[in-house]
Amino acid sequence: MVLFNWRVHAPAAILLLTGAVFAARPMDPWILRVSMPNKVRINLIALSANLSVAYDAPNAALYEAWSGTYINGTDSYNYGRGILATSYIPQGKILYKQGPGGGVSDTPANRTLSSQSSPTNETPLTVWSATLNAAAVTVKPEYRGYTVNNTAQTVNLRYLLTAGTSLVDVTEAPETATGGSGLQRDFTFKGIPTGMTLSLLLTGNTINKSGGGTVTETWTATGTGTVETRDGKRYLVQDKDGKTLLVGTWN
């Protein structure tokens, strides 16, 4: 049974079975289903005081990562105006964004409360793709909810990918990377048939630092998947069932 836990409380520190000690989650709740600037149906996850992530549920993919937590815009909800344009607002510099259009600033103006009505919703990008025996097949992602381990303070996002006529189950557990210097994404794939290769687009929009220049993005993979570069973009490539540990860093 999938558990949708809207308020997850964080103890002072968590000792996982791996032996790694993670700091307490910085917010209560630390995982929510929300709308954000220009995006609805988002899973917002505050992993640490220095890293939060947002997942695009319909697209079954990472949407944004930033160096901070969030504020709750619904505290200022005004029924006379309708829905606020942003119900939850990220606080911190943008490290990653997977959205339409060109480069974005790491310190956008919409990090404050808004009084606009009805949020607009960006057009989803195609982030999952596949080939079967070297021929392209259509991939339809479907978000299947998430499970939370309240004791360990971990979350597993669940996706179902319809790739051609095949059904592939995917789980993803996001966490701060060892040392707190990036994002760790722990994937498990089940149902990839012989001859199929799945690809997940990793490269996001160009992030323009407020002081000039751009954020350098790096992705590495260990396990059954690999990171490949095609047409100047990075992809997680998976051609068999198994586990892949993906780590992204931004400088």
Q: Are strands 104-105 and 207-208 parallel, antiparallel or unpaired?
A: parallel
Q: Are 197 and 238 in contact (CB under 8 A)?
A: yes
Residue 100 has a CB neighbour count (10 Å cut-off) of 10
Tokens of 104: 């974005």
Residue 144 has a CB neighbour count (10 Å cut-off) of 16
pLDDT of residue 4: 36
pLDDT of residue 21: 35
pLDDT of 1 over the 70 cut:
no
Rounded to an integer, what distance in angstroms lies between the CA atom of residue 43 and that of residue 155? 11
pLDDT of residue 10: 35
Q: Are strands 207-208 and 21-23 parallel, antiparallel or unpaired?
A: unpaired
Rounded to an integer, what distance in angstroms lies between the CA atom of residue 230 and that of residue 221? 16
pLDDT of residue 41: 86
Tokens of 170: 């995917």
- Coil, strand or helix: which one is 166? strand
pLDDT of 6 over the 50 cut:
no
Share of the chain above pLDDT 90, in %: 59
Per DSSP, the chain holds a count of helices (H) and strands (E) of: 0, 22
Q: Are 14 and 21 in contact (CB under 8 A)?
A: yes
Tokens of 201: 């687009």
pLDDT of residue 61: 95
pLDDT of residue 111: 66
Q: Are 24 and 12 in contact (CB under 8 A)?
A: yes
Which tens digit of pLDDT belongs to each residue from 70-89? Answer: 877 665 555 555 554 456 77
pLDDT of residue 40: 80
- Coil, strand or helix: which one is 73? helix
Q: Which one is predicted more confidently, 9 or 112?
A: 112
Which tens digit of pLDDT belongs to each residue from 186-211? Answer: 999 999 999 999 999 999 999 998 87
Which tens digit of pLDDT belongs to each residue from 109-146? Answer: 666 655 555 556 788 889 999 999 999 999 999 999 99
For CA atoms 45, 83, 126, 207, the dihedral sign is negative
pTM over 0.75: yes
- In the chain, what's the furthest Cα-to-Cα distance? 56
Summary mean pLDDT of the chain = 83
